[in-house]
Amino acid sequence: MSASIIALETIVPETVLQQSDVRDVFAAQPQLSRLAQRLVPATFESAAIDTRHTAIRELSWASTAERPRFFDPATGELRSPGTRERNELYAAEGGAMFVAAARAVCAGIDTARITHVITVSCTGFFAPGPDYLIARELGLRPGVQRYHLGFMGCYASMPALRLAKQLCDADPAALVLVVSVELCTLHVRSSSDPDQIIAASIFSDGAGAALVAADAVDGAGCSLDGFESVVTPVGEADMAWTIGDEGFEMVLSSYVPKIIGEYIESALTPLFSHGASVPDIEHWAIHPGGRSILDRVESSLGLSEAQLVPARETLRDFGNMSSATVLFVLQHILRTARPGERICAMAFGPGLTVESGLMTVN
């Protein structure tokens, strides 16, 4: 029997960003070049996003912060704190979200059974890390094994699930807790750089958590049938994530959708050796890195509009939450999917890397 996701939960911060409001704030920043003044409205409006969430409570016109660090509602000014200040907020808010997501997915579970914790994030660092926080706050046994997949980018929840499957396949008694938390808005800032404008228009904050066990639970979750990882022959410079003096810096070029569209079929060939093909798969849990990426995947694979609904609605309601996003899409699918139906999950990240997995609804 294949290892299975037996529980899956997602959470988001309370502060909601309306896309139209964020667009207007970014477009009004005085330092923008003439080109950027035209790019900002067009980029935000074409993102296919209505709302996003942020862990930065002061990113609101209703903010009453006495010393605003990120946004001053009195002047409409977007500020740009240093990387240290951003990371301190990540440790506080992100740490709390790791614990909250873990508690949510473990509701009704005897946490003494958890043998492994895998945490995922690319938007901040601290040590002892989120894996330690979860083990301490949930009272996990002292010998629980802990792993952190850091700074891998938007695809990282897929190798986390693959590792969880490997652990459960090796030990039928294993119960693996996977938690992804991304606070992408900590690194958003005003800029005339087209890559930074794209990042500001799509990225957001959220968390997803899954429990993986060797034994399936009837009517809950899905089996993890197989995973593959493929690096495309081009695109290394088109998607990247580096650390700067004013936060982490995203490179997300306009060529990424074209690259994904060109190579997605060959990237899935190794995955289909596990026993499936495009016509066999009812559901597609595609990481919505952006509207144009979803458009390219849909057209390249010949998918129906209905098969893209979970990804498009996740993008519309939550934006791109980096590695956590594919867990939101998967949760969307599992709400209505029927036992025995197949799921193909995939996410994209630096490299350009395509991580994919086959699953079957329990």
Active site positions, annotated = 154
Give the span between the Cα atoms of 56 and 268, in whole angstroms.
37
- Name the strand (E) or helix (H) holding 251: strand 247-252
The answer to whether the CB of 29 falls within 8 A of the CB of 78 is yes
Those residues whose C-beta lies under 8 Å from the C-beta of residue 305, and which sit 6 or more positions away, are 298
Contacts of 168-173 with C-beta under 8 Å, sequence gap 24+, read: 168/3, 168/212, 168/213, 168/214, 169/2, 169/3, 169/214, 171/115, 171/214, 172/214, 172/215, 173/115, 173/214
CA distances for 361 relative to 5, 213, 216, 314, 335, angstroms: 10, 14, 10, 20, 11
Amino acid at 302: G
Return the half-sphere exposure (C-beta side, CA atoms, 13 A cut-off) of residue 117: 30
Residue 281, number of CB atoms within 10 A of its CB: 19
The answer to whether the CB of 119 falls within 8 A of the CB of 149 is yes
Give the span between the Cα atoms of 187 and 208, in whole angstroms.
20
Q: Where are the alpha helices (DSSP H) in the chain?
A: 19-27, 34-45, 83-89, 95-105, 130-137, 157-170, 194-202, 256-272, 291-301, 309-318, 325-334
Tokens of 190: 């005003």
Nearest to residue 87, comparing CAs of 228, 287, 233, 243? 243
Amino acid at 189: R
